Homo-oligomer: A and B are copies of this chain.
Amino acid sequence: MDAVTAFAPATVSNVACGFDVLGFALHEPGDEVTAQWSESGVRIDAIVNDGGRLPREALKNTAGVAAAAVLRTIGERRGVVLTIRKGLPLSSGLGGSAASAVAAAVAVDGLAKTGLPLETLLSCAFEGERDGAGSAHADNIAPCLYGGFVLVRQANPPDVVRLPVPPSLTAVVVHPDLEIETARARALLGTTVALSDAIRQWANLGALVDALHRGDLSLLARSLEDTIAEPRRAPLVPGLALIKQAAADAGALGCSLSGSGPSLFALCDGMATANRVAAAMRLAVTAHIGGAPETYVSPIAAQGARVVAPCAS
């Protein structure tokens, strides 16, 4: 029986000044989804490494919804059985639900050998995020699928801008031993913001896009400021200001929450600085939150989700 496995990486969304519209891909960790043909419908036969906490019912699971969307899009009558291997910690702010949705869409597309355009796969994964995880934005699924650093001008129908990445730009991600439900983090935001805060946010976002185009890391550093989400979510992450200070003192260009947290990201100029920043952030997280945080250091990953084990018969 044919089986196709796809890998989809962790992503950092928001990126300080780009709430709901900006994100970038990491090399690792990531989720893997294996798809195999079945008679009809979508079924999940196993989820590995989620502690039994994610929904097994396919249409309540981001991967299941995304897989069903691909089958519907290509007019396929057969069904698929999915096996999901979570490489991403749950509720970590690293785009775990997006990674499962994207990996499922890519795996089913690979199984059916349809070679759908990325935009179509994005729409399918978007359904997974929206109906499976209740999240109608695309700042995790877009970088997860496309790789690199992306701006989502519009989620649905998708209008995704792939931004240039200065070669020395290196990401640090530290995942404290905390969980934050995205829904709870979102509720903290409310539905309105001060116009003055919003103006500052879009000034910074415009400057960030310019900085990526020019490779101007000084401007990039000045623009990595969040006036919208981080101030409201700071109470969820003890010591946030001190962890950010530790990152800055170690030479980070900027540091903020990854998605809705609790993971934090920093952007750095080069791997040596990134390693120093990672060590400083790990120490600060241990001091203020406790535990042994997981830490990842990697360039922005140019490649997004892909098939890793095609058509083993």
Contact = CB atoms under 8 A, between A and B. Distances in A.
A181 B226 CA distance: 32
Contact of A18 (B151, B195, B196, B206): B206
Q: Interface size for chain A: under 10, 10 to 19, 20 to 34, or 35 or more residues?
A: 35 or more
A254 B199 CA distance: 21
A207 interface: yes
A205 B201 CA distance: 10
Interface string A198-215: 110111111111100100
Nearest to A19: B199
A85 interface: no
B203 A151 contact: yes
Contacts of A206: 18, 21-22, 151, 153, 161, 202, 205-206, 208-209
Nearest to A20: B199
Contacts of A190: 195
Nearest to A17: B202
B199 A21 contact: yes
Interface of A: 17-22, 151-154, 159, 161, 163, 189-196, 198-199, 201-210, 213, 219, 222-223, 228
28 contacts: A18-B206, A21-B203, A151-B203, A151-B207, A151-B210, A153-B203, A153-B204, A153-B207, A153-B219, A153-B223, A154-B222, A159-B207, A159-B222, A161-B207, A161-B219, A163-B210, A191-B195, A191-B196, A192-B193, A193-B193, A193-B198, A198-B198, A198-B201, A198-B228, A201-B202, A202-B206, A206-B209, A213-B213
